[in-house]
Copies of this chain bind each other. A is one copy, B any other.
Amino acid sequence: MEKIARINMGAAGGPEVTVTEVGEYAGLGGRAMTSIIIATEVHPLAHPLGAENKLVIAPGMLSGTAGAMTGRLSVGCKSPLTGTIKESNAGGQAAQVMARLGYAAVILEGKPTTDDLYKIHINKDGITITVDNSLRLMDNYPVIAKLRGEYGDKVAYMTIGSAGERKLLTASIACTDPELRPTRHCGRGGVGAVMGAKGIKAIILDDAGLKMRPPKDPERYRDANRKFVEGLRKHPVTGEGLPAYGTNILTNILNEAGGYPTRNFKSGVYEGGSKLSGEAQAELEIKRGGKATHGCHRGCVIQCSGIYNDAQGNYVTKQPEYETVWSHGGHCGIDDLDTVARLDYLDDNIGVDTIDMGVAIGVAMDAGVIPFGDKEGAIRLVEEVGKGTPLGRILGCGAAITGKVFGVERVPVVKDQALPAYDPRPIQGIGVTYATTTQGADHTAGYAIATNILKVGGDVDPLKTEGQVELSRNLQIATAAIDSTGMCLFIAFAIMDQPETFQALLDMLGSFYGITMTGDDVVALGKKVLSAERDFNKRAGFTAAHDRLPRFFYTEAIEPHNQVFGITDEELDSVFNW
């Protein structure tokens, strides 16, 4: 990863590639790379779809190595959805392949002068950009099918569906999994719209003839990796819960905790929860010949993904994640896994964020567009997104726009990004993260559920305000660092509880780069990333007033715990006082 490729889509004679040494950005990876480049190079008031915005694609610090769990790819830009800086990461194969190709970052710049659609092919011989208007308005599954005919099966694909071409504010970038399904998405914040605005439909990454990235100290790296994997395998979340049931193990847990937002955040308990649970889902998957245990990228030892088949045993979609099952399920009053799976497939195919898409449907239901619980209606709405009808465009622009266009007051967004599957009133810690993260409402930015609900990394009472700011602060710092390593965030469960597993991670980083890496270094990296992001957001006009939940969380108590969000403004404003 000694190179940076810049592709200027606005060059006079057509796209122009410049490859340089990594230079001032040396040593960065993943979110640190994307956020520091965006904060350094993009005008904070740039139009997200304009020539001044950039789309930075960066593998993590350990991506492309033999280390376990190192397959996360970060994509960064100024977000069309939130107006903030944005980092959205995904699994799949792309990070490993791009890292082996030697690119610490591929940066898409400028704005095309024609409306041609391009694909970018990157292999050991270099970067080729070609017009391919035959792909126009194709969705992700058919695009991949077509590209496989051309580039084969030994490559990784990054594509946008019709949503990205239409520049919808929730458009995602799909990364293919090991079986070349476009199921792992950089979902949040409309990164796919920025790729669409750059005129790029697909990036094909081919590492044929290239090897794993070599560590400075191979033996120590191998040893550290072995201990790291042991740690993941022995922790109950990463070694048992996630492999057996995937992230959807959370449905029953959150529902029992009274923190499962139901019918657009009107209750914390969903009566149909058990029908959507990970336990029910895994049983169905196995019965139908799908898979309840599967890795989204090679090198994964947690294996929290899966394959969801229909009753006839035909592939429908990958195992929908907990947040997807929630956003299309309980949030919409829908208790049917087959409907959720169909919606998940449609989202992946069209290329939209499953959280903002599902939350938008629930907001539209609250507006009376269709009733809560209308399964066929929900499918029809997402199909409209794929057709690009006016209604589809509204919904595809997410919950905030849907709320405005339909005159809804109860719109669960922060910085115009939809809240995920955890109500911040009975789980105050996650509310601190939603309100204050640089990304707009995002559970992954500081997953307080771990300590509030799962009792990982300690035990902070979710119903109380005490300790939540510190919890969210520490998690946000740790997450910013982990998102820079290329490691899947789920390693956090093990490293929070097991000091020896955290030490193994430090040893992996240290032995790979030939440095000494301490816990303090990780904290410093996380703070560096957050500081760059907050500085960008500040220059883009974001203030403490934006680090708040929507007012209804402060004024409407929710069943069953009957409480409102209680963290004061002063407390929220202290999250980044370190």
Contact = CB atoms under 8 A, between A and B. Distances in A.
Nearest to A49: B409
A167 B411 CA distance: 14
A167 B551 contact: no
A82 to B, nearest CB: 12
Interface in A376-404: 389-391, 393-394, 397, 401, 404
A470 interface: no
A129 interface: no
Interface in A25-54: 43-47, 49-50, 52
A541 interface: yes
Contact of A541 (B44, B169, B196, B543): B543
Contacts of A405: 390, 393-394, 397, 401, 405
A572 to B, nearest CB: 12
3 A-B pairs closest in CB distance: A167-B407, A541-B545, A390-B391
B197 A407 contact: yes
B546 A541 contact: yes
A517 to B, nearest CB: 37
A478 to B, nearest CB: 28
A5 interface: no
Given A401-B405, A541-B545, 17 more contacts: A45-B545, A45-B551, A47-B409, A47-B411, A47-B551, A47-B552, A50-B552, A52-B551, A52-B555, A167-B407, A393-B394, A393-B406, A394-B405, A539-B545, A541-B541, A541-B543, A541-B546
B193 A407 contact: yes
Interface residues of A, number: 43
A425 to B, nearest CB: 17
Contacts of A541: 541-546
A539 B394 CA distance: 29
B551 A545 contact: no
Given A390-B394, A394-B394, A401-B401, A407 B166 contact: yes
A299 interface: no
A357 to B, nearest CB: 15
22 contacts: A45-B548, A46-B551, A47-B409, A47-B411, A47-B551, A49-B407, A50-B551, A52-B555, A80-B404, A166-B407, A168-B407, A193-B407, A197-B407, A389-B390, A390-B390, A390-B405, A397-B405, A405-B405, A540-B545, A541-B543, A541-B545, A541-B546
A179 to B, nearest CB: 32
A241 interface: no
Contacts of A457: none
Contacts of A46: 551
Contact of A550 (B47, B545, B551): B47
Interface in A527-551: 539-546, 548, 550-551
A167 B368 CA distance: 14
A419 to B, nearest CB: 15
Contacts of A390: 389-391, 394, 405
Contact of A551 (B43, B401, B407): B43
